[in-house]
């Protein structure tokens, strides 16, 4: 274990802005951030032209562990995270068995403590009859409700159960927001379809809007913190704008919804680009992009949901929804920075600071004295091409394959320790449970 690391003469992205200087890490914490630090350290990193960002907090991943470990595991997923500059992740509960009790939560956390290269925590999933577990489970990012069905068996869409969860629990509620009745009706209408373009018709923008309005009404009625996962529609953006500035309801967007649109992406990749909620038309993509710039959308989440390429290559109706993304999210956003769409400060804010703020994470998300030394060294000018042969995720494919990007993670530090450097992993290090409060 390295007790001290000193970054010399490096571009540092802090809450107060960007400046050139030195950063000292001691015992897993940021100990000093100054124009010049003369103190010695065990490890000194002095590499011109690199930038130090706070480690990415990915609030939305599916590492498929337990139950579908042929697709991903906490171990492999955490390696992919480290390769992408992600130092903390929040994993979703739709595993097998589902994470719906204190017992399954404890089992998952114990497993992660032994296998995860980066910091971790897990949502508890809501069912129609686990209210006591939702109330009593400790130190989780929040309660995940699938109001629209997706991968796995978790679904809560009846009014009584939703009212009960919103009125009787205190934790942040994160939602998959699609209207289940409308999905079922459309699935019947398009039964037997082999056209992947029908996926967006089955999971319509109207269904997403109807569900989001319903959930926001509940959040406002009970003054309960609500986070809408993977926003996808212009209609939802316009509705959320109409609510005005407030901190009760927040949202995220994924890179795949932000950077791609149908039918182009579906014509190119077919069922590989099939996800829930679906990738929609350009007008929705443009609305999401603008909403992220304006602060209507508050953070990014990868919704890393891997399946094997053989599974995704099946025909529409049989292929599962979901795609990998935890190791490409930061490179994709750094490319947006290089193109002038966002500042490097916005990158740190949307991928590190805001996830920490939204979920009330303790001492993470910023390069700040006293905070956990989770950070990523990036080359903002480094060009690279997304190559499936070098992807770390078990799924080994990406709809961004072949895309040449400017900006890439070079090295990732978790609690002050090297866990990744240019293709090499330091597996003796293990992440820690993310704490809230």
Neighbour count for residue 66 (Cβ, 10 Å): 17
pLDDT of residue 151: 67
How far apart (Å, rounded) are the C-alpha atoms in residues 253 and 284?
Answer: 12
For each of the domains in the chain, give its residue range(s) and CATH number, in order of start.
Answer: 4-52+367-386+403-425 (2.30.40.10), 55-358 (3.20.20.140)
pLDDT of residue 15: 79
pLDDT for residue 253 is more than 80: yes
The two structure tokens encoding residue 28: 């897993």
Q: Who contacts 37 (Cβ-Cβ below 8 Å, separation ≥6)?
A: 6, 8, 22, 23, 24
Which segments within 211-368 are labelled E, that is strand? 226-228, 249-253, 299-300
pLDDT > 70: percent of the chain: 99
Alpha carbons within 13 angstroms on the beta-carbon side of residue 414 total 31
pLDDT for residue 139 is more than 80: yes
The two structure tokens encoding residue 273: 């680009």
The two structure tokens encoding residue 293: 């710039």
Of 6, 3, 1, nearest to 21 by C-alpha is: 6
**Cβ(30)–Cβ(371) below 8 Å:** yes
Q: Could you tell me which residues are beta bridge partners of residue 122? A: 91
**Cβ(262)–Cβ(232) below 8 Å:** no
Grade residue 362 by pLDDT with cuts at 50, 70 and 90: very high
Grade residue 38 by pLDDT with cuts at 50, 70 and 90: very high
Q: Please report, in angstroms and rounded to a whole number, the separation of the first and last CA atoms in the chain.
A: 28
**Helix, coil or strand: residue 400:** coil
The two structure tokens encoding residue 279: 């990738």
Mean pLDDT of 400-429: 97
Mean pLDDT of 168-194: 96
For the chain, the C-alpha Rg in angstroms (whole number) is: 21
Tens digit of pLDDT for each residue in 47-92?
999 999 999 999 999 999 999 999 999 999 999 999 999 999 999 9
**Cβ(2)–Cβ(23) below 8 Å:** no
209 upstream amide cis, omega within 30 of 0: no
The region, left, alpha or beta by phi > 0 then psi within -120 to 50, assigned to residue 412 is beta
**Cβ(12)–Cβ(30) below 8 Å:** no
How far apart (Å, rounded) are the C-alpha atoms in residues 279 and 263?
Answer: 9
pTM score? 0.98
pLDDT for residue 152 is more than 90: no
Neighbour count for residue 60 (Cβ, 10 Å): 27
Grade residue 148 by pLDDT with cuts at 50, 70 and 90: confident
pLDDT > 90: percent of the chain: 97
Q: Give the DSSP per-residue string, 192-228.
A: T---TTHHHHHS-HHHHHHHHHHHHHHHHHHT--EEE
How far apart (Å, rounded) are the C-alpha atoms in residues 3 and 31?
Answer: 11
Of 324, 288, 326, 297, nearest to 309 by C-alpha is: 324
pLDDT of residue 149: 74
Grade residue 153 by pLDDT with cuts at 50, 70 and 90: low
DSSP annotation of 72 reads -
State the alpha helices, DSSP H only, in 96-195. 102-115, 131-136, 159-168, 180-189
**Helix, coil or strand: residue 135:** helix
pLDDT for residue 283 is more than 70: yes
């Amino acid at each position: 274990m390295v007790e001290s690391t000193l970054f010399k003469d490096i571009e540092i992205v802090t809450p107060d802005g960007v400046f050139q200087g030195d950063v000292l890490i001691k015992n897993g914490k940021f100990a000093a951030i100054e124009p010049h630090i003369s103190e010695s350290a065990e490890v000194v990193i002095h590499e011109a032209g690199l930038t130090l960002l706070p480690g990415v907090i990915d609030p939305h991943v599916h590492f498929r562990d337990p139950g579908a470990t042929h697709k991903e595991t906490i171990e492999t997923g955490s390696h992919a995270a480290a390769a992408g500059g992600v130092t903390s992740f929040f994993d979703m509960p739709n595993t097998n068995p589902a994470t719906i009790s204190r017992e399954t939560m404890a089992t998952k956390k114990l497993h992660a403590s032994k296998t995860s290269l980066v910091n971790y925590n897990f949502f508890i999933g809501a069912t129609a009859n686990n209210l006591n577990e939702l109330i009593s489970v400790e130190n989780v990012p929040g309660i995940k409700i699938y109001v629209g069905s997706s991968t796995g068996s978790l679904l809560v869409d009846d009014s009584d159960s939703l009212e009960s969860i919103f009125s009787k629990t205190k934790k942040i509620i994160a939602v998959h927001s699609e209207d289940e009745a409308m999905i079922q009706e459309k699935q019947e209408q398009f039964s037997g379809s082999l056209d992947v373009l029908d996926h967006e018709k089955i999971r319509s923008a109207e269904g997403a809007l109807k569900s989001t309005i319903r959930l926001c009404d509940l959040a406002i009625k009970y003054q309960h913190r609500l986070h809408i996962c993977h926003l996808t529609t212009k209609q939802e953006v316009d509705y959320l704008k109409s609510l005005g500035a407030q901190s009760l309801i927040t949202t995220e967007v994924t890179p795949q919804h932000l950077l791609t649109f149908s039918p182009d992406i579906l014509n190119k990749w077919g069922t590989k680009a099939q996800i829930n909620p679906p990738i929609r038309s350009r007008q929705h993509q443009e609305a999401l992009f603008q909403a992220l710039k304006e602060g209507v959308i508050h953070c990014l989440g990868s919704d890393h949901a891997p399946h094997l390429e053989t599974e995704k290559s099946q025909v529409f109706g049989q292929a599962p929804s979901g795609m990998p993304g935890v190791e490409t999210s930061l490179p994709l956003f750094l490319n947006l920075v290089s193109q002038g769409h966002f500042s490097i400060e916005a990158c740190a804010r949307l991928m590190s600071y805001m996830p920490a703020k939204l979920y009330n994470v303790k001492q993470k998300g910023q390069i700040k004295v006293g905070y956990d030394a989770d950070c990523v060294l990036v080359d903002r000018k480094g060009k690279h091409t997304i190559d499936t042969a070098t992807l770390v995720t078990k799924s080994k494919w990406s709809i961004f394959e072949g895309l040449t990007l400017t900006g890439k993670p070079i090295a990732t530090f978790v609690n002050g320790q090297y866990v990744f450097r240019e293709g090499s992993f330091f597996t003796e290090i293990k992440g820690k449970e993310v704490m809230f409060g």
